[in-house]
Amino acid sequence: MTVTTPPDATAPEATPDRGRGTDIGLLLVVILAFTALVFSFVAFASGDDDAETAAGGGDAGGAPTSALATLTEFAINPESLVVSGSGVLDVRNDGSQVHNLVVVDHDVRTADLNNGESESLDVSSLAEGEYELICDIAGHADAGMRGTLVVGDTPAAGEAAGGGHGGDHTEMTEEEADALDQAMMDTMNAFPAETEGVGNEPLEPVEIMADGTKRFELTAEIVEWEVEPGKMVEAWTYNGMVPGPYIKVDLGDKLRFDVTNDLPMGTDVHWHGIRTPNSMDGVAPYTQDLIKRGETFTYEFEAVKKAVGIYHAHVHGQMAVPNGMLGIIQIGDVDLPRGRTISGVEIPADLEISQEIPMVLNDAGTIGLSLNGKSFPATAPIVAEQGEWILVHYANEGLQVHPMHQHQFPQLVVAKDGIPLDNPYFADTVNVAPGERYSVLINPDDPGTWVWHCHILTHVEREEGMFGMVTAMVVN
Ligand SMILES: [Cu+2]
């Protein structure tokens, strides 16, 4: 087994910030130093370096003695691997997160690999046959990191080598091709599909207190969530929905959120993009104690600045947020460029918004590739009358960038992260990175069904058909 560490994975000569960042700076140094220690230990513990192999080498007609598998967010590439009984898998992490490669039900696995690291995995302990591969970092297999491994010169070997996404389909029979065509048409014709549960339900205050404070209640809890027709997942939620309730309040409101934790572990709530006192920023243990299971914590702050924010768990965020602990919190209305001319288009001075739609993007965890907690064909279409003006707030709570493409109607980007732009601009594709919000105006002026989707094509299609980050604007 050989583990190679990228040259930059050494302890940095970090200098702690002076002032209020000192604690965080020190913590980072400790974490980085510890990480470097782990790297060097792993490298030391795996001193056997005679497994260096030429990628893809193999006898003509037999299974190759080695095969290269790369790990990315969130795929094992290629999905189908073939290697001879005495062979090795060269596994390399080309992703930005930590990944590993595990042969399911067998004691054959790589270490957890950081970006740029690789390991030669000896598969000689496996008998000839077909095996399931996953990355077993929490949530990654569900997000798509699955594959198959064929060991030995089995009849399945040739078949497996040609299959998978982006595989060579020239050997496909007409029947197989027709089946793939049909699957694609069937999934598209199923849109919009009914599923249980709707996210983004407006959150009303449970009471207006004596001093005018609006008091809201949020409960963090795990529920069964139908992410696509018939596919139930364990969602981590606020008030049992994904995304969590849509919180829209007025500028100047006094707000109180009683957050009860019914999760199996601790939580907190960070108000991303909202101005709050430091003690309300929701970062345990720096600004508050962890909300332990069964406990309630109260957040109180005034809505002092207009915002299109998101709220989500901060602690265990890499798991809790993709699993569903995310929602939109908006203060006031986004200022629009009424009466201005942008790229030759006159924006009406009396423009009224007919529909204001949050669109939360996600790509990982139990929820996976989705718009507003649903995967196509369970995503909700946006139904519009010709000529109306629709305001959409994209919010990316996933782990990857998503270029959101609306067919036919250019999107007028009016605000970034809730901050109105001095120079709004039109784009047919708006790239939304994790944590970002873009507010876009759309003026559908042409009847028809116009699809609207992430343009990373593996986020919207798989061989079984269309899925994931697709919806449509239906213009009457
Ligand atoms: Cu995408």
DSSP 198-224: ---PBPPPSEE-TTSPEEEEEEEEEEE
In angstroms, what is the span from residue 397 Cα to ligand 1's centroid?
12
Q: What is the CB neighbour count within 10 angstroms for residue 450?
A: 18
Answer whether 101's CB lies under 8 Å from 135's CB: yes
In angstroms, what is the span from residue 409 Cα to ligand 1's centroid?
19
Helix spans in 62-197 (H): 156-162, 174-189
In angstroms, what is the span from residue 257 Cα to ligand 1's centroid?
32
In angstroms, what is the span from residue 266 Cα to ligand 1's centroid?
30
Q: Rounded mean pLDDT of 64-90?
A: 84
Q: CA-to-CA distance for 393 and 137, rounded, in angstroms?
A: 31
Band of residue 153 on the pLDDT scale cut at 50, 70, 90: low
Q: CA-to-CA distance for 353 and 388, rounded, in angstroms?
A: 8
In angstroms, what is the span from residue 422 Cα to ligand 1's centroid?
28
In angstroms, what is the span from residue 402 Cα to ligand 1's centroid?
4
Q: CA-to-CA distance for 5 and 191, rounded, in angstroms?
A: 46
Q: Which of 116-125, 301-310, 448-457 has the lowest mean pLDDT?
A: 116-125
Q: CA-to-CA distance for 51 and 4, rounded, in angstroms?
A: 12
Q: Dump pLDDT digits (tens) for 346-357.
A: 999 999 999 999
In angstroms, what is the span from residue 453 Cα to ligand 1's centroid?
8
Q: CA-to-CA distance for 340 and 430, rounded, in angstroms?
A: 21
Q: Which of 154-158, 185-189, 386-390, 416-420 has the lowest mean pLDDT?
A: 154-158
Segment (H or E) for 356: strand 353-364
Q: Which of 18-22, 423-427, 438-442 has the lowest mean pLDDT?
A: 18-22
Band of residue 82 on the pLDDT scale cut at 50, 70, 90: confident
Instruction: Supply the pLDDT for residue 236.
Output: 96
In angstroms, what is the span from residue 111 Cα to ligand 1's centroid?
28
Q: Dump pLDDT digits (tens) for 32-65.
A: 444 444 444 444 444 333 333 333 333 444 677 7
Q: Dump pLDDT digits (tens) for 428-437.
A: 999 999 999 9
Q: CA-to-CA distance for 249 and 471, rounded, in angstroms?
A: 28
Looking at per-residue pLDDT, the higher value among 176 and 28 belongs to 176
Given a cut of 50, whether residue 227 has pLDDT beyond it is yes
* Cis peptide bond upstream of 245, omega within 30: no
Given a cut of 50, whether residue 105 has pLDDT beyond it is yes
Q: Rounded mean pLDDT of 346-371?
A: 96
In angstroms, what is the span from residue 374 Cα to ligand 1's centroid?
14
CA atoms within 13 A on the CB side of 330: 26
Q: Which of 17-26, 160-169, 287-296, 452-461 has the lowest mean pLDDT?
A: 17-26
Instruction: Supply the pLDDT for residue 20.
Output: 43
Instruction: Supply the pLDDT for residue 464.
Output: 86
In angstroms, what is the span from residue 460 Cα to ligand 1's centroid?
8
In angstroms, what is the span from residue 366 Cα to ligand 1's centroid?
16
Instruction: Supply the pLDDT for residue 96.
Output: 74
* Nearest C-alpha neighbor of 326 from the set 443, 403, 431, 245: 245
Given a cut of 60, whether residue 456 has pLDDT beyond it is yes
DSSP 280: G
In angstroms, what is the span from residue 362 Cα to ligand 1's centroid?
8
Instruction: Supply the pLDDT for residue 352.
Output: 95
Answer whether 426's CB lies under 8 Å from 412's CB: yes
In angstroms, what is the span from residue 96 Cα to ligand 1's centroid?
16
Give the phi and the psi of residue 180 in degrees, each rounded to 5.
Answer: -70, -40
Q: What is the CB neighbour count within 10 angstroms for residue 18?
A: 8
Instruction: Supply the pLDDT for residue 169.
Output: 66
In angstroms, what is the span from residue 12 Cα to ligand 1's centroid?
33
Instruction: Supply the pLDDT for residue 303.
Output: 97
Instruction: Supply the pLDDT for residue 424.
Output: 97
In angstroms, what is the span from residue 215 Cα to ligand 1's centroid?
36
Q: CA-to-CA distance for 212 and 75, rounded, in angstroms?
A: 51
Instruction: Supply the pLDDT for residue 207.
Output: 96
Q: Rounded mean pLDDT of 137-161?
A: 71
Band of residue 288 on the pLDDT scale cut at 50, 70, 90: very high
Q: Specify the residue for token string 């996933």.
A: 398
Instruction: Supply the pLDDT for residue 158.
Output: 40
In angstroms, what is the span from residue 359 Cα to ligand 1's centroid?
13
Looking at per-residue pLDDT, the higher value among 66 and 191 belongs to 191
- Three-state secondary-structure class, residue 68: strand
Q: Which of 140-144, 147-151, 258-262 has the lowest mean pLDDT?
A: 140-144
Instruction: Supply the pLDDT for residue 253.
Output: 97
Answer whether 385's CB lies under 8 Å from 355's CB: no
Q: CA-to-CA distance for 303 and 348, rounded, in angstroms?
A: 29
Answer whether 421's CB lies under 8 Å from 350's CB: no
Instruction: Supply the pLDDT for residue 144.
Output: 86
Q: Would the CA dihedral through 266, 271, 273, 278 be positive or negative?
A: negative
| Structure-block tokens of residue 365 | 């965890």
pTM over 0.85: no
Q: Dump pLDDT digits (tens) for 2-15.
A: 444 444 433 343 33
In angstroms, what is the span from residue 44 Cα to ligand 1's centroid?
39
Q: Which amino acid is at 407?
A: H
In angstroms, what is the span from residue 135 Cα to ligand 1's centroid?
20
CA atoms within 13 A on the CB side of 442: 36
Instruction: Supply the pLDDT for residue 56.
Output: 39
Cα dihedral: 22, 28, 29, 35 (round 10): 170
In angstroms, what is the span from residue 431 Cα to ligand 1's centroid?
9
Specify which residues 76 forms β-bridges with. Answer: 71
In angstroms, what is the span from residue 455 Cα to ligand 1's centroid?
6
In angstroms, what is the span from residue 392 Cα to ligand 1's centroid?
17
Q: What do you get for the CA distance between the two ends of the chain, in Å?
A: 62
Instruction: Supply the pLDDT for residue 27.
Output: 47
In angstroms, what is the span from residue 469 Cα to ligand 1's centroid?
7
Given a cut of 80, whether residue 220 has pLDDT beyond it is yes
Q: CA-to-CA distance for 284 and 287, rounded, in angstroms?
A: 6
Instruction: Supply the pLDDT for residue 52.
Output: 36
- Give 106: exposed, middle or buried? Use CB within 10 Å, 0-12, 13-18, 19+: middle
In angstroms, what is the span from residue 342 Cα to ligand 1's centroid?
28
Q: Which of 25-39, 330-344, 380-394 has the lowest mean pLDDT?
A: 25-39
In angstroms, what is the span from residue 364 Cα to ligand 1's centroid?
11
Q: Dump pLDDT digits (tens) for 156-208.
A: 444 443 334 455 566 788 988 899 999 999 999 999 999 999 999 999 999 99
- Three-state secondary-structure class, residue 421: strand
Average pLDDT, whole number, for the chain? 85
